[in-house]
Amino acid sequence: MQPIHDQRILGLHHITAVAAEPQRNLDFYTGTLGLRLIKLTVDFDEPHIYHFYFGDAHGHPGTILTFFPSPGIPRGRSGPGQATITSFSVPENAMGYWRERLHSAGVHVDGPNNRFDEEYLAFHDPDGLPIELVSQRGRQITAGWDGGDVPEEYAIGGIHSATLEFEHPERTAELLTQVMGLHEAEQSGGRTRYGFGHGSKGSVIDIAHRPGVAHGLKGAGTVHHIAFRVANDEALLAWRDYLVGLGHDLTPVMDRSYFHSIYFREPGGVLFEIATEGPGFTVDEPLEELGTHLMLPEQYESDRAKLVQALAPLKLPKVTRE
């Protein structure tokens, strides 16, 4: 097995998780964490449920955390067989600011701690989803959203990494390295780090070996899937053909309006997606208006009135700085 070198995977595209109350989720990620709501839409497969996309000012792939908020859904449990921790990059001078900000918001924070010569803060969102902020010492990170109330010099710059947990990680590690083109970078304390080798946003996957731990359960506060990015449709089709040839069960190419993608389950049970970088989030609203309107895919536009009535009303975040 050899990776497709001429159509390589470029890093993470986004991470998608499950939440319970939509307004609480929206307030935490745009208010407390200062991310931009870059797209307000619905789950394309279940349109009575919102789909929130949070990211940097431009909605660059590799900065995006998305949610399916479903009121009343029971809380899940993070554990082996899941993607568990979503880690964001912040500037190297930001640890003190974020510890105080989170503490002031009533969020319990663990750290700063050190891992792989990086400093990080660990906490949970209101649904119990594990989140980390990782200080990128000596590295230039993507500028974050400066339209909220987090100063630009401390703002989250994008996804640093995703952590996957397994009781038996060997086959997943083989998929990442022998098929998807990542390389093993470091090991420490039952955790192995894999990278794409170019150091850009969303270029790290950690695998944590968790033997004898209760497996994760789906629900609020757990990750639904993680998505890797490729340059275009040609690369996406090449990866589909390649993975099918290796015996993986893949979906057809799905049109998600803002990208095209395919899905499959890796050997440890985590749902993987491979998504194109384009056409991007400005395909249906201008950059300055991202996240300010409910955008529906074409197949649901005729049902807009019915869907708006079914969806919970929202108070959208205000832009406080230009």
pLDDT digits (tens, 9 = 90+) for 282-318: 999 999 999 999 999 999 999 999 999 999 999 999 8
Average pLDDT over residues 95-105: 97
DSSP-assigned beta bridge partners for residue 42? 50
Residue 115 resides in a domain: yes
pLDDT digits (tens, 9 = 90+) for 155-193: 999 999 999 999 999 999 999 999 999 999 999 989 999
All residues at 6 or more sequence positions from 288 whose CB lies less than 8 Å from its CB, including other chains:
none
Cis amide linkage into residue 22, ω under 30° from 0: no
Check pLDDT > 90 for residue 199: no
State the Cα–Cα distance between residues 251 and 134, nearest whole angstrom. 34
Q: Does the structure show a pLDDT above 70 at 5?
A: no
Task: Tell me the CA distances in angstroms from 300 to 45, 150, 192, 286, one per residue in order.
Answer: 11, 35, 43, 21
Query: Does 146 map to a domain?
Result: yes
**Residue 84 contacts residue 163 (beta carbons within 8 Å):** yes
Query: Which tens digits make up the pLDDT trace of 12-26?
Result: 999 999 999 999 999
Assign residue 164 the CATH number of its domain.
3.10.180.10
Q: Which residue from 90, 30, 46 is spatially nearest to 300, judged by alpha carbons?
A: 46
What are the b/e assignments for 41-80, b being 16+ CB within 10 Å? bbbeeebebbbbbbbbbbbbbbbbbbbbbbeebeebebbb
Tokens of 102: 């989170």
**What is the reported pLDDT for 144?**
83
Residues 6 or more apart whose CB falls under 8 angstroms from that of 312 comprise 22, 23, 50, 71
Helix H segments across the chain?
22-27, 95-104, 170-174, 233-245, 304-310
The token duo for 231 is: 């340059």
Could you say which DSSP state residue 148 is in?
Answer: S
b vs e for 193-209, b when ≥16 Cβ sit within 10 Å of the residue's Cβ?
bbbbeeeebbbbbbbbb
Q: Does residue 321 fall inside a structural domain? A: no
Q: Which residues of 102-117 are buried (b: 16+ CB within 10 A; e: fewer)?
A: beeeebebebbeebbe
Q: Write down the pLDDT at residue 6.
A: 66
Residue 200 lies in a domain: yes
**Which residues form the domain of 292?**
5-310
Measured CA to CA, the distance from residue 290 to residue 282 in angstroms comes to 7
**What local confidence, expressed as pLDDT, does residue 1 receive?**
57
The owner of tokens 């919970």 is: 312
Is residue 139 included in any domain, yes or no? yes
In this prediction, residue 140 carries a pLDDT of 57
The sign of the CA dihedral 135, 164, 49, 285 is positive
Q: Which of 191, 138, 131 is nearest to 156 (CA)?
A: 131
User: Is residue 109 within 8 Å of residue 32, measured between CB atoms?
Assistant: no
Domain tally for the chain? 1
**Per-residue pLDDT, 322:** 47
Classify residue 318: in a domain, yes or no: no
Average pLDDT over residues 39-45: 97
d(CA 168, CA 12): 23
Q: What is the CB neighbour count within 10 angstroms for residue 297?
A: 15
Candidates 263, 289, 284, 266; CA nearest to 275 is 263
* 4 band by pLDDT with thresholds 50, 70 and 90: low
Flag whether 185 is in a domain.
yes
Tell me, yes or no, whether 271 lies in a domain: yes
Rounded to two decimals, the pTM is: 0.96
Comparing CA positions, the residue from 247, 209, 248, 200 lying closest to residue 228 is: 200
pLDDT, the chain, mean: 94
